[in-house]
């Protein structure tokens, strides 16, 4: 397990280095003059020259990269040209909101998705199984923004049970979490149902039933335990996506997270903030995947022997 951990850490280094190169290249591949894009056409020459000096755009390319990489290693992602604040501070203020939303969505998706997937596999061919399968296909097909708007229309505008946007308490968290986790519910239900059916038809499950074990123990202790290995992998990957891909959900519900910060930075052409945000989110996604791999190896020791 220790050797596998160090191997995964070793693979993480070139991944982060590649992300660093890509984020640095944003200023180079951006169409036109990036400084002119940030300040607009009415900015005076003094402002443009000052900003070019701050971004070190007049230095040789390798010098720019070494300076950028050195700042990143020290934890300095630059300063937002719009807010005039360190980008790290902006991200750390918003990341707890994104983390809260991701945890809520993951909890909802795991409990509901695994639960109905097990139920469908336990009662195959029944109307419940057909209803779960239909709902799973529908959940995967509906786009996130459509689900969010429908939830707002029903629960916020028509029924007036929940607030349509903002943050503050559990009531503000419910609709964004349902929207973000809906696709994962459908995907987890399909995967859990398929895996559970395969395991329930296996030899050792038939043996457990032949020994006279109650059905709830056969399903809960013998079958579900093996399905959880697959579920952990899917939930880990989805959790990384929740943390890094919640831009639409945060925008629809005006949730003050990192995704909305990125969209605002793009809209305002705040390239340093876009650079820092992409690098931060990529690092978060890479470390979440690392944690998922290590947890998977812990649950299934055969992984470390390959």
pLDDT digits (tens, 9 = 90+) for 241-292: 788 768 888 888 988 888 888 888 888 778 888 888 888 888 888 888 888 7
Nearest to 103 by CA among 223, 280, 239: 239
Q: For residues 1 and 249, which has the higher predicted lDDT (pLDDT)?
A: 249
Helix axes 258-267, 87-122, angle to 10 degrees: 130
The pLDDT-based confidence of 232 (bands split at 50, 70, 90) is confident
Grade residue 33 by pLDDT with cuts at 50, 70 and 90.
low
Q: Tell me: pLDDT of 301 over 70.
A: no
pLDDT for 208 equals 72
Looking at residue 169, the DSSP 8-state letter turns out to be S
Which pLDDT does position 63 carry in this prediction? 84
pTM of the predicted model, to two decimals?
Answer: 0.81
Give the mean model confidence (pLDDT) for residues 218-242.
Answer: 75
pLDDT reading at 175 higher than 70 = yes
List of residues 6+ apart from 294 with CB closer than 8 A: 4, 5, 8
pLDDT band with cut points at 50, 70 and 90 for residue 221: low
3-state secondary structure of 201: coil
User: What is the arithmetic mean of pLDDT over 194-201?
Assistant: 78
Q: What confidence tier does 303 reach under pLDDT thresholds 50, 70, 90?
A: low
pLDDT score at 32: 61
Task: Find the helix packing angle between 127-141 and 170-200, rounded to 10°.
Answer: 120
pLDDT digits (tens, 9 = 90+) for 57-77: 777 878 888 888 888 888 888
- Percent of the chain scored above 70 by pLDDT? 88
* Domain chopping of the chain, boundaries: 20-73, 89-267
Assess whether pLDDT exceeds 60 at residue 19.
Answer: yes
What integer is the mean pLDDT of 92-109? Answer: 90
Count of C-beta atoms within a 10 Å radius of residue 283: 17
pLDDT of residue 96: 92
Between the alpha carbon of residue 122 and those of residues 106, 117, 137, 171, 211, the distances in Å are 23, 9, 19, 34, 19
Which residue's entry shows tokens 């996130």?
A: 144
Mean of all residue pLDDT scores within the chain: 80
Query: By C-alpha distance, which of 105, 110, 108 is closest to 228?
Result: 110
Q: What is the DSSP letter of 162?
A: S
Query: The tokens of 131 are what?
Result: 């209803």
269: its two tokens:
């052409």
Residue with tokens 């202790």: 221
Residue-wise over 258-271: b if at least 16 C-beta within 10 A, else e?
bbbbbbbbeeebbb
Backbone torsions φ then ψ of 270, nearest 5 degrees:
-90, 80
The length of the chain in residues reads 306
Residue 305 has pLDDT above 80, yes or no: no
CA–CA dist 17, 21 (Å, integer): 6
CATH 1.10.3720.10 assigned to domain 89-267? The reply is yes
């Amino acid at each position: 397990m220790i050797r596998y951990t160090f191997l995964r850490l070793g693979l993480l280094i070139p991944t982060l280095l590649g992300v660093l190169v890509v984020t640095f290249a944003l200023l180079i591949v951006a169409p036109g003059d990036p400084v002119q894009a940030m300040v607009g056409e009415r900015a005076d020459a003094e402002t443009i020259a000052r900003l070019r000096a701050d971004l070190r755009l007049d230095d040789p390319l390798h010098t720019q990269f070494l300076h950028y990489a050195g700042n990143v290693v020290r934890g300095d992602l630059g300063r937002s040209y719009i807010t005039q604040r360190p980008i790290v501070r902006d991200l750390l203020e918003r990341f707890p909101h994104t983390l809260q939303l991701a945890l809520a969505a993951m909890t909802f998706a795991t409990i509901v998705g695994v639960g109905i997937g097990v139920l469908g596999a336990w009662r195959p061919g029944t109307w419940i199984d057909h209803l779960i399968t239909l709902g799973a296909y529908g959940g995967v097909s509906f786009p996130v923004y459509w689900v969010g708007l429908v939830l707002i229309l029903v629960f916020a505008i028509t029924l007036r049970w929940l607030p349509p946007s903002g943050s503050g308490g559990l009531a503000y968290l419910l609709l964004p979490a349902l929207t973000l986790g809906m696709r994962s519910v459908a995907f987890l239900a399909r995967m859990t149902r398929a895996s559970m059916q395969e395991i329930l038809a296996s030899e050792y499950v038939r043996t457990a039933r032949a020994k006279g074990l109650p059905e709830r123990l056969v399903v809960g202790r013998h079958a579900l335990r093996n399905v959880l290995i697959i579920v952990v992998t899917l939930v880990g990957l989805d959790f990384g996506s929740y943390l890094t891909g919640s831009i639409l959900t945060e925008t629809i519900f005006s949730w003050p997270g990192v995704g909305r910060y990125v969209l605002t930075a793009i809209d305002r052409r705040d390239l340093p903030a876009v650079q820092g945000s992409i690098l931060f989110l990529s690092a978060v996604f890479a470390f979440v995947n690392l944690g998922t791999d290590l947890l998977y190896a812990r649950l299934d020791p055969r992984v470390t022997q390959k």
